Amino acid sequence: MPQLGADMAAGKLTEWLKKPGERVKRGDIVAVVETDKGAIEVEIFENGTLDRVLVEPGAKVPVGTVLAMVRGDGEAPSAAPPMPRPMPAVAPSVPKPRPAVAVPERRAPAGPTGRLRVSPAAARLAAERGVDLAGLRGTGPDGAIRIADVAAAPAEVAPAAEPVAALPEPATPAEAIRRAIAAAMSRSNREIPHYYLSHAIDVSRALDWLARGNEQRPVAGRLLYGVLLVKAVALALRDYPEFNGFWRDGRFAPGAGIHVGTAIALRGGGLIAPAVHDADAMTLDALMASLRDLVARARAMRLRSSELADSTITVTSLGDQGVDAVFGVIYPPQVALVGFGTPAERPWADQGTVTTRRVIQASLAADHRASDGHRGALFLARVGQLLQEPEKL
């Protein structure tokens, strides 16, 4: 079961698209999995033959569960008959209700480490009696609170326990998506020290060039200006790789490619940011086709697992809505998000003369653990430079 988002703990297998005995090759869609973000198509990364499936449709299994066995070319078939083994459905990953016993929090740090020194026996008695340890004076070794100190303390009236109700199963897909966004964004604001930069970019030349080019294209093949933005960001990342990748286990891990997640608003509410793989190497036309395909499939809730899990950075453009700028919340474990506002005519001073130009406000929200503002500024400026020469994009 692939992890199709930072906070996904389990997924429900809804459909097998390949049968045991069928050939599969890298990139094939083999199964459909239902997550909080809707139905996701699971791709396979090996060539071979589907040997047997281990998870039946309808079963909800934790991330990491083996779904099926694939036999490589030349490997002997498995001895076991290709009979699917039903897996027990796991409990949904909702927070468990807290126990009704109120365990006093340890406040008022005492020691140099910022923690109270409490013997194990004293801690247990305090928990049983609801004694607030922070108010006690320790008489044990090095001032530690020992069991006699707790025994002598008056037991507090425990505050009425307020068990947090277990979240009910989401009623609608929109609610499920809302909940997934809530989890990811809460984690982001909790864990990621964001910094924000903003940069006004003159896009007059780029938009003119785009309009001229579109005159030569069939209507269905015309480029939207968002393609230029995505491509400029992707190319700039080649020079500023510290914005392309993940913060994991206390260090930055660069992305294996430049896979730009593009935020797509969903009709039922919420958003999703599937990846355009290797966006820096795509032509503008290919990028446009790819984006159209992604938008259509995202809105139909038919995205592929790699598109959901692989993004190395996110680009969001709220230009359609007329806002000047957007300051985003990074999608963990990514380390940067580039936002674009609406291109609009603005007074523009250039060599002592004020003219009007079409200007777009670009912003960068970046993880200060992984990068610093100096490099962030250079990165945004590079995006701006690239947009001055649209024909090279």
Partner 1 sequence: MNAGATVRTTYREAMREAIRDAMTRDPRVFLMGEDVGHYGGCFAVSMGLLKEFGPDRIRDTPLSEAAFVGAGIGAAMGGMRPIVEVMTVNFSLLALDQIVNNAATLRHMSGGQLSVPVVIRMTTGGGKQVAAQHSHSLEGWYAHIPGIKVLAPATLEDARGMLWTAIEDPDPVIIFEHTLLYNMEGDLAADAGPVAIDRAAIRRPGRDVSLITYGGSLYKTLDAATALAADGIEAEVIDLRTLRPLDEATILESVTRTRRAVIVDEGWRSVGLSAEISARIMEGAFYELDAPVARVCTVEVPLPYPKHLEDAALPQTDGIVRAARHVVGGNG
Q: Find out whether 243 and 379 touch, Cβ atoms under 8 Å.
A: yes
Query: Quick one: 57 or 135, whose CB is closer to partner 1?
Result: 135
How many Cα atoms within 13 Å fall on the side-chain side of residue 357? Answer: 17
Residue 147 is a binding residue for partner 1 (CB under 8 A)? yes
Query: Quick one: 123 or 264, whose CB is closer to partner 1?
Result: 123
**Residue 77: cis peptide before it, omega within 30 degrees of 0:** no
Query: How many other CB atoms are there within 10 angstroms of residue 105's CB atom?
Result: 8
Residue 141 is a binding residue for partner 1 (CB under 8 A)? yes
Q: Find out whether 11 and 34 touch, Cβ atoms under 8 Å.
A: yes
Residue 52 is a binding residue for partner 1 (CB under 8 A)? no
Which range of residues in 114-122, 204-212, 236-244, 368-376 is near partner 1 by CB under 8 A? 114-122
Count residues near partner 1 (CB under 8 A): 12
Please report, as a single letter, which amino acid is at residue 206: A
CA distances from 252 to 70, 106, 196, 334 (A): 33, 33, 19, 9
Residue 122 is a binding residue for partner 1 (CB under 8 A)? yes
Residue 81 and residue 70: Cα distance in Å, rounded?
14
* Binder of partner 1 out of 140, 254, 257, 384 (CB under 8 A): 140
Residue 101 is a binding residue for partner 1 (CB under 8 A)? no
* Binder of partner 1 out of 60, 146, 259, 358 (CB under 8 A): 146
Q: Find out whether 192 and 6 touch, Cβ atoms under 8 Å.
A: no
Q: How far is the CB of 178 from partner 1 (least distance, A)?
A: 42
Which range of residues in 100-108, 121-129, 190-198, 323-331 is near partner 1 by CB under 8 A? 121-129
Please report, as a single letter, which amino acid is at residue 183: A
Binding-residue pattern over the window 266 to 285 for partner 1, x denoting contact by CB under 8 A: --------------------
Residue 103 is a binding residue for partner 1 (CB under 8 A)? no
Give residue for tokens 């998000």: 337
Site of interaction with partner 1 (CB under 8 A):
119-122, 124, 139-141, 144, 146-148
